[in-house]
A and B are shown apart, each in its own frame.
Chain A
Amino acid sequence: MAMSQISDAPRPIREPAPENAVVARNVSKHYGPVEALRDLTLEFPRGQLTSLLGPSGCGKTTLLKIIAGLLEPTSGEILVNGEQVTGPGPDRAFVFQDFALLPWANVMRNVAFGLELRGVARSEREAIAERYIRDVGLAGFEDSYPHQLSGGMRQRVGLARALSVDAQVLLMDEPFSAVDEQTRRKFQEDLLALVENENKTFIFVTHSIEEAVYVSDQIAILLPRPSRVSEIIRPSGIRGKGADNIRRDPEYLDIVDRIWASLRSYVE
């Protein structure tokens, strides 16, 4: 499987925040009287994976959907490559928590759906989809329907669909929360390889501290009531050590502890 080939050689440590692919500037969001986000400012460096981490109700999915253009901010703005977001665009692709696959369409059509909506000719879009189906390790399942696949395989379809539209920014809304623990670990390793191999910017929502520290170049910790960025952590020291060693690294464990210490008071 192509995605899982994680090299043992240390990764080159990336330059800290060279240029920002996505910028959220003074974003606020109200749902009627409920304040989901207040004056939130955050930068997402190009080619890196930024996690939005926080307890439930802290507005992390809301922020992700505002970046996607699926929700409108009450005030403030989102810039993608310096341009203001007014709605969904070809520069961003979304991976959904509940997969959001079309149950009546087979894997091939689901993966090619983004291209189908853009009017790409059938033979062309199926060739592209086929490549990404192979990349995520689902070769041979092109004609299967979602109900015939396991949860992990369904999310691979969702990932292949997002990759096949070739967006520069990949928005992932708790993509691994609905799959089992073993599959999730595999996904996390694959994600590290993906960040390394694809020249894309990843924005990753999660509520798992370990997951955030394991996969992220930058972790934005959001706190609720009112939602704000309380801290930005860059676990740079553990990044070059290879997927197998991260979980044993003292710095990894320290960061996990530190984040838990700052979050625990918000968990009732």
Chain B
Amino acid sequence: MTSYRSLFLKLLSAVLVFGAWEIAGRIPVSYSFPTFLDTMSALAALTLDGTMLRAYAETLQPLAVGVTISAVFGIGIGLWVGLSARFDWLFSPIFIVMQAAPLAALIPLLVMAYGIGLTSKVFVVCIMAMPVIVLNTGAAVRNTPSSLKEMGKAFLAREDQIILKVIIPAASPVIFSGLRLGISAGFIGAILAELKITPTGVGDIITYSRSIADYPSMYAAIFSIILFAVLFLNLVERLEFILFKGNNRGYVSD
């Protein structure tokens, strides 16, 4: 019952947003702002002739590598930072600076150091994604309720059991929210890298379509990457509920 209603509300909000987009495109608010329907037909055309598929094969490389590195090392370093005050003191400032740094200004430095290939793009994705994953994980681990750790100790848990069976599950909701934020930042990083370093993949479609004033195609590419990001984040949330069943206690599910 409620799931039908929430599905209905989601459809309604989609219809409202896309309807407003269509109207705004028809007025038009700007010559370079296509209607929703034009964008969708451009999206269909790009998908059917295989352009989109080739673009994603290109874009997904730095994205997948960067997000994987960020998730694995980010959670690992975050756990360490949360468990050890000394490690926190040593590493947290690096990630706070990384989070605050204006990435676009750093890209020329990265290109000088690592060239215009995959390495630089992976770096951009990591710089975007990793800090929030590390800092969230660290904070979540640090804030594990002390009574739960005490309970583990009282029932004879070894140090590794306390980490695996108490601290990580307790921290998992915040770790996963950090992961979701990190991954969405990684998407921004991947596109930014393709716009700023070398135009490849989805970034190339955006840049090229803009240069020939094919705005529907440009918006179709932007729309597709947003859609892809949302679907991927939903997948991560599913993964969380499979791994940690008790976490499903009524925060955003979609």
Seen from chain A, the residues whose Cβ lies within 8 Å of a Cβ on chain B are 68-70, 88-90, 92-94, 96, 98, 100, 102-106, 113-114, 116-118, 145, 147, 161, 165
Contacts and interface: CB of A to CB of B under 8 A. Distances in A.
B161 interface: yes
B153 A114 contact: no
B155 interface: yes
Contact of A68 (B152, B154, B246): B154
Interface in B143-180: 145, 147-148, 150-158, 161, 165-166, 169-170, 172
Nearest to A165: B155
A104 B154 contact: no
A93 B154 contact: yes
B210 to A, nearest CB: 48
B245 interface: yes
Contacts of A94: 151, 154-155
10 contacts: A92-B154, A96-B147, A100-B150, A100-B151, A102-B166, A102-B170, A104-B247, A116-B165, A117-B155, A118-B156
Contacts of B165: 113, 116-117
Interface SS majority for chain A: loop
Interface in B7-26: none
Contact of A104 (B147, B152, B158, B244): B244
B249 interface: yes
B153 A70 contact: yes
Ordered nearest first, which 10 A-B pairs have the shortest CB separation? A104-B246, A100-B151, A94-B154, A114-B155, A100-B147, A117-B157, A104-B169, A88-B154, A117-B155, A98-B147
B147 A114 contact: no
B154 to A, nearest CB: 4
Most buried by A among B145, B151, B156: B151
Contact of B156 (A88, A105, A145, A147): A88
B153 A103 contact: no
Contacts, number: 62
* Size bracket of the B interface: 20 to 34
A260 to B, nearest CB: 31
Interface of B: 145, 147-148, 150-158, 161, 165-166, 169-170, 172, 244-247, 249
Contacts of B151: 94, 96, 100
Nearest to A94: B154
Contacts of B158: 117
A145 B247 CA distance: 10
B249 to A, nearest CB: 6
Nearest to A97: B147
Given A100-B147, A104-B244, A70 B155 contact: no
A223 B18 CA distance: 71
Contact of B155 (A103, A113, A147): A113
B39 to A, nearest CB: 42
A165 B166 CA distance: 18
Contacts of A105: 169, 246
A145 B147 CA distance: 18
Contacts of B172: 104
B169 A102 contact: yes
A241 to B, nearest CB: 34
B161 A117 contact: yes
A70 B166 contact: no
Given A70-B154, A113-B155, 4 more contacts: A94-B154, A102-B170, A103-B246, A117-B155
A76 to B, nearest CB: 20
A96 to B, nearest CB: 6
A70 B155 CA distance: 10
A70 B169 contact: no
Contacts of A100: 145, 147-148, 150-151
